[in-house]
């Protein structure tokens, strides 16, 4: 698939001497939802800020929709919308004026019908004449999105879009992001909510200490690194796991009533059959069983820990 953003060998050293990005290369595909995950201070905001032209890189190149973000800044920037973490605009402006003004900043002709459509899609239409200062936190966040969409960008960056918003607004935002993608917009989001990435993303990039440590299709990531557990509820509590079952790495719960078998999702699953047969031969009976699949969160924690 064609890439819409191409980041090559990007580095950033802040004036303090701190190296926030180290040789980052990354391609974002046109029309995808890409989630950038990383612990605090990993470099997510720095990376987004450089792509959006708010912070200068120390080295490397970035091409957005065919335009170099330094030498063709205006063309590149016109294709990008950025939803920052916080609202910095004048609190006494109305919603309508703020969003319309934002469009004007990109040199786009006024288009009241488009602004109306955007405000309606974000459930802001009834608030269009309200001053920003009178809006709730969730509504201010919707205004940030409306502003970022005001100039009809093809690429949208969302920096922590749902931090601190309620469940309902979070679901609305997910819905909105999906509808943007359906209209061909590429969406790149940073998030601390791993369930958000799990729910939304087509691909996931993990950044840690200024380096991209992994980029993978979400499904593939979960299949490759995911582990499955088979948990058996025993008929009788078990004192020890019998020696003939040692090879399976079975874990006995503290109350001795459950045995857990962990296996690779890619692994040949005939091991399960053998394990169950050996269990039977050892005279161990179980009354019930369930399986558990590791979440993206388990995978993420392991990955980041390994690079520390
Ligand atoms: N202006 C600056 N001067 C010096 N260091 C900075 C500056 N801005 C950011 N940093 C440092 O660069 C690193 C990356 O910061 P960045 O904000 O990109 O991380 P992040 O992944 O977005 O973190 P968070 O999840 O906390 O938002 C941090 O260690 C931060 O302290």
Confidence of residue 89 (pLDDT cuts 50, 70, 90): low
- What pLDDT sits at residue 30? 95
Residue nearest to atom 7 of ligand 1 (CA): 14
Indicate if the pLDDT at residue 14 is higher than 80: yes
In this prediction the pTM is 0.80
Query: 9: part of which helix (H) or strand (E)?
Result: strand 3-13
**Complex ipTM > 0.90:** yes
Output the CA–CA distances (angstroms, integers) from residue 233 to 148, 244, 245, 264, in the order listed: 53, 19, 16, 21
- Mutate which of 10, 24, 45, 208 for ligand 1 pocket (most atoms within 8 A of beta carbon): 45
pLDDT at residue 84, rounded to an integer: 87
pLDDT of residue 193: 75
Give the 3-state secondary structure of residue 182.
helix
Kindly list the structural domains of the chain, giving each domain's residue range(s) and its CATH number in brackets, ordered by start: 3-222 (3.40.50.300), 226-307 (3.30.70)
Q: Which of 85, 295, 299 is nearest to 206 (CA)?
A: 299
What is the whole-number distance in angstroms between the Cα of residue 219 and the centre of ligand 1?
A: 29
pLDDT value at position 139?
87
pLDDT tens sequence across 224-265: 766 788 999 999 999 999 988 988 889 999 999 999 998 876
Q: Is-contact 58 20, C-beta < 8 A?
A: no
* CA 256 to each of CA 104, 163, 186, 289: distance values in angstroms, whole numbers, following the listed order: 68, 41, 51, 15
Is 253 within 8 Å of 260 (Cβ atoms)?
A: yes
149 pLDDT more than 90: yes
* Predicted confidence band of residue 308 (pLDDT cuts 50, 70, 90): low
Q: How far is the CA of 42 from the centre of ligand 1 (A)?
A: 7
SS3 per-residue string spanning 97-166: HHHHHHHHHCCCCCCHHHHHHHHHHCCCHHHCCCEHHHCCHHHHHHHHHHHHHCCCCCEEEEECCCCCCC
What is the chain's mean pLDDT, rounded? 88
What confidence tier does 191 reach under pLDDT thresholds 50, 70, 90?
confident
Q: What would the mean pLDDT of 190-195 be, rounded to a whole number? A: 78
- Is 196 in a helix, a strand, or coil? helix
Nearest to 190 by CA among 25, 308, 1, 43: 43
pLDDT of residue 137: 83
Which one is predicted more confidently, 150 or 220? Answer: 150
**pLDDT 10s digits, 42-56:** 999 999 999 999 999
Q: Examine the pLDDT at 267 and tell me if it is beyond 70.
A: no
pLDDT of residue 161: 80
Q: Please tell me the distance between residue 164's alpha carbon and the centre of ligand 1 in angstroms.
A: 20
Using the mean position of ligand 1's atoms as its centre, give its distance from the Cα of residue 121 in Å: 33
Q: What is the mean pLDDT of residues 202-229?
A: 86
Say which range, 73-82, 199-208, 268-277, has the weakest mean pLDDT: 268-277
Residue located nearest, by CA, to atom 30 of ligand 1: 41
SS3 content of the chain, % helix, strand, coil (to 5): 35, 30, 35
Q: State which ligand 1 atom lies nearest to the alpha carbon of 210.
A: 14
Please give all residues whose beta carbon lies within 6 A of any atom in ligand 1, as ranges: 14, 16, 18, 20, 38, 40-46
Residue range 97-135, pLDDT digits in tens: 999 999 988 888 999 999 999 999 888 999 999 999 999
pLDDT band at 87 (very low <50, low <70, confident <90, very high): low
CB 279 within 8 A of CB 250: no
Q: How far is the CA of 70 from the centre of ligand 1 (A)?
A: 21
């Amino acid at each position: 698939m064609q890439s819409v953003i191409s980041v090559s060998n990007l580095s950033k050293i802040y004036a303090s001497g701190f190296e926030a990005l180290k040789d980052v290369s990354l391609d974002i595909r046109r029309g995808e939802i890409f989630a950038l995950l990383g612990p605090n201070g990993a470099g997510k905001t720095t990376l987004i800020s450089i792509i959006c032209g708010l912070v200068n890189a120390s080295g490397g190149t970035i091409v957005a929709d065919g335009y170099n973000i330094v030498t063709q800044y205006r063309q590149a920037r016109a294709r990008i919308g950025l939803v920052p973490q916080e609202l910095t605009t004048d609190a006494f402006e109305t919603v309508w004026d703020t969003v319309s003004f934002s469009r004007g900043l990109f040199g786009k002709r006024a288009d009241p019908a488009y602004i109306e459509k955007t405000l309606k899609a974000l459930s802001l239409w009834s608030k269009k004449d309200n001053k920003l200062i009178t809006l709730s936190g969730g509504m201010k966040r919707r205004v940030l999105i409306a502003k970022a969409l005001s100039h009809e960008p093809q690429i949208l960056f969302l920096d922590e879009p749902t931090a601190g918003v309620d469940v309902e607004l979070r679901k609305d935002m997910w819905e909105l992001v999906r509808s943007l993608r359906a209209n061909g917009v590429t969406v790149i989001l940073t998030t601390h909510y791993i369930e958000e990435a799990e729910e939304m993303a087509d691909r996931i990039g993990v950044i840690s200490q200024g380096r991209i440590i992994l980029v993978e299709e979400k499904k593939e990531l979960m299949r490759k690194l995911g582990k499955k557990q088979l948990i058996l509820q025993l008929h009788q509590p078990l004192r020890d796991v019998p020696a003939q079952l040692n090879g399976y790495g079975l874990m006995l719960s503290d109350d001795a009533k459950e045995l857990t078998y962990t296996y690779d999702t890619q692994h040949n699953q005939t091991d399960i059959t053998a394990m169950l047969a050996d269990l039977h031969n050892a005279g161990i009976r179980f009354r019930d069983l369930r399986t558990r699949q590791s979440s993206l969160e388990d995978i993420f924690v392991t990955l980041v820990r390994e690079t520390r």
